[in-house]
Amino acid sequence: MIAIMKKLLLLSLLAGHLHAQSSAREPRDLNGYFPMTPPASKEAWQARRAEIEQRVALASGLWPMPEKTPLNAVVHGRVERDDYTIDRVFFESLPGHYVTGSLYLPKQRPAKMPAILCPHGHWPDGRFMDRGAGTVATKKEIETGAEELECGARSPLQARCVQLARMGCAAFLYDMLGYADSVQFTEHRHGARGEGFLSPQADLRLQTYFGLQTWNGIRALDFLLTLEGVDPARIGCTGASGGGTQTMMIAGLDQRVAAAFPCVMVSTAMQGGCTCENSHYLRVNQGNIDIAALTAPRPLGLTAANDWTKELETKGLPELKALYTTLGVPDNVTAHIATHFPHNYNLPSRLAMYRFYNQHFQLGIQEPVREREFQVEDKAALTVWTGAHPAPSGEQTGAAHEKSVCAWMTAQDEKQIQPLVKGADEAKLREIVGGAWKVIIGREPPAAGEVEYELLTKTDRGDHLVMEGMARLATHGEEVPATFLYPKNWSGHAVLWLSLEGPASILGENGPAPAARALLDEGKAIACPALHLQGATEQPKSGDNLRAKPDDFREFSGYTFGYNPSLLARRAHDVMTLVTLMRNQEKYPLKSLEVRGLEGAGPIALAAGAVMGLKNVKADLQGFRFAALDNPWHIHFVPGAVKYGDIEALLKLCGELE
């Protein structure tokens, strides 16, 4: 009876600790709080910057960067106005996929012309947006002080580009996916599909609308730099809302952007609600303030309105100012705070942007900059698709086109990743593939002093001891229950036994399981943890995925995995904690440590081993491959796992595949 009572007490203790462990890892979503910690030094920032940039690149499907194929740009149908022109432009960001837009140019071009890339965001009709002459919506913009001129109130997107051209800049306003002339994708907000974007197969290769849109922006920079007279030292990027998201991503990944002005998007609050603003891993251990900080030390301008950015002045901006001060350029970051206006890129915000580029690009425009009347162009004047240049149709649009884009991305993986997995260049394998898996797992191994251990029970079983306790990683608020079998004739060798069955795998009512008994007879100690959410039948979901209805775009798994590590990664974290604990016990110094992944835990063992550089990993995979998974909530589903070599890559990183 006493033994039973002790067992019940231990189970109660472990249950309480398991609850605490789960609470510390509750799923986050895009509506969380994402503060930035300013670096203590320039050196600290360089290291942190590299982490953020690699994560953004990987989340975009751009680690490593794909091949830059010919743009095959077509510029036609010029519209002539008093002091500026508008050209119709389309080019291929990848074979068969067109980026479309309007190129605004000054009629009197300076010898070296600055160029501003203008992603537009989620405004009605995108580049063709027009609130209409004399409409209630147009009048309201003027009445509230958001606009002064009817033309600007009707089309703030055109107003921005016209004024930049009048200031001597080239301005390229290009279409987001599914807007205006971007007809190959009819939408990018839809439910999960069996193939193409938002499918498990695409997730496994990090093929997303967000990634394609980011790639389109980088290729749009390539296009701008082909224009005669464009000054490569003065390339800017500015957009609002979803265009603000794209601005910070493009500026973060592409150093050719000399100054960035993302509007009403950079904040510690809501991080962006669309599928084109979310991707797997993008905001794990970071948020939009960190991503915007990638622009540093280059000039960065922000705006805030009465939306999720309304607290920017006290949350986010001070940290960015601290960073820029550390880097020695405190005046290179600024913000226009106008929280009496709703979400916008209105005239006051545009005036702040004009001042920003006037200063940093030394345009020489007399202040204050003012907008003047311009002719609002209709769709017929702006569309790139004409009789001479017909719009894509048939297999070039819709689901068929989506599949072809994904196929091109897959071919890039096969060309860039597979040779590393199959080849002999271990340094390159670890840099590209190993580096990607470190981002996917999302954590460096803990230092020796970070892991503590509490012994809860110790039982003498004659030739061995059974110890049950808790490994604690206080820096992350995590606890890992574990059972240890310690032979009294210990040889100094140990096995970390991983199983989805937990400690029951090695110890039953009648003593050690046969395989565990054999190890004890060899003088080997055994540790077996209860991995995170032991017994779970699917991955935990974040708020957006929990609220999603069938055929809702919030089914996209990026709304969970964009903010949280996968369950496999969480369990790999537990393995890393146990390895660190076992390697650093003064009372029980190790001669060797073997990690075994059994009973469904093989992929976990390999993932942890790949990140930690372990060479003594044995995994019973039972034929498992990530590519075979067709459910993003499977307990072993890992976005990007197939892109980065599947199980073969993990085996090679662990030295198990030659």
Q: Looking at residue 104, which CATH number applies to its domain?
A: 3.40.50.1820
Q: How many CA atoms lie within 13 A of 65 on its CB side?
A: 12
Any domain includes 44: no
The confidence score (pLDDT) of residue 25 equals 79
Q: Would you give the end-to-end CA distance of the chain in angstroms?
A: 54
- Over residues 321-341, the pLDDT tens digits come to 999 999 999 999 999 999 999
Are residues 406 and 348 both part of a single domain? yes
Are residues 385 and 448 both part of a single domain? no
Contact 45, 37 (CB under 8 A): no
Q: What percentage of the chain reaches a pLDDT higher than 70? A: 96
CA distance 607 to 290: 27
Which pTM was predicted? Answer: 0.95
Positive or negative, the CA dihedral 414, 620, 482, 615 is negative
Task: Give, as one character, the DSSP assignment of residue 116.
Answer: E
Are residues 318 and 267 both part of a single domain? yes
Are residues 380 and 520 both part of a single domain? no
Are residues 348 and 474 both part of a single domain? no
Record the tokens describing residue 57, joined without a space.
Answer: 């690149």
pLDDT band at 20 (very low <50, low <70, confident <90, very high): very low
Any domain includes 380: yes
Range of weakest confidence among 83-87, 164-168, 581-585: 581-585
Any domain includes 146: yes
Contact 335, 303 (CB under 8 A): yes
120 or 656: which carries more pLDDT confidence?
120
SS (H, E, C) 68-99: CCCCCCEEEEEEECCCEEEEEEEEEEECCEEE
Can you give the residue range of the structural domain that contains 465?
Answer: 440-653
Are residues 356 and 456 both part of a single domain? no
Structural domain count of the chain: 2
> Looking at 379, 414, 449, which one is the last position of a domain?
414
CA distance 75 to 91: 9
Any domain includes 532: yes
For residues 433-459, average pLDDT: 96
CATH number at residue 496: 3.40.50
CA distance 223 to 164: 18
- Over residues 538-558, the pLDDT tens digits come to 999 999 999 999 889 999 999
pLDDT value at 155 more than 80 = yes
Are residues 399 and 462 both part of a single domain? no
Any domain includes 564: yes
Any domain includes 525: yes
Contact 484, 509 (CB under 8 A): no
Mean pLDDT of the chain: 94
Are residues 280 and 406 both part of a single domain? yes
Q: Give the residue carrying structure tokens 């109130």.
A: 153
For residues 484-502, average pLDDT: 97
382 CB-near residues (< 8 Å, 6+ apart) = 79, 86, 88, 102, 127, 128, 180
For residues 376-403, average pLDDT: 97
The confidence score (pLDDT) of residue 7 equals 44
pLDDT value at 208 more than 60 = yes
Are residues 410 and 455 both part of a single domain? no
The confidence score (pLDDT) of residue 187 equals 81
How far, in Å, are 52, 402, 486, 617 from residue 491 at the CA level?
Answer: 44, 58, 10, 19
The confidence score (pLDDT) of residue 587 equals 85
The confidence score (pLDDT) of residue 514 equals 96
Q: Give the residue carrying structure tokens 């203008």.
A: 118
Any domain includes 305: yes
Are residues 279 and 335 both part of a single domain? yes
**How many residues comprise the chain?**
658
Any domain includes 431: no
Positive or negative, the CA dihedral 157, 163, 165, 167 is negative
**Nearest to 596, CA basis, from 516, 504, 492, 481:** 516
Q: Which amino acid is at 467?
A: M
Query: DSSP of 376-400, one letter per residue?
Result: PP-HHHH-S--SSSPPP-GGGSHHH
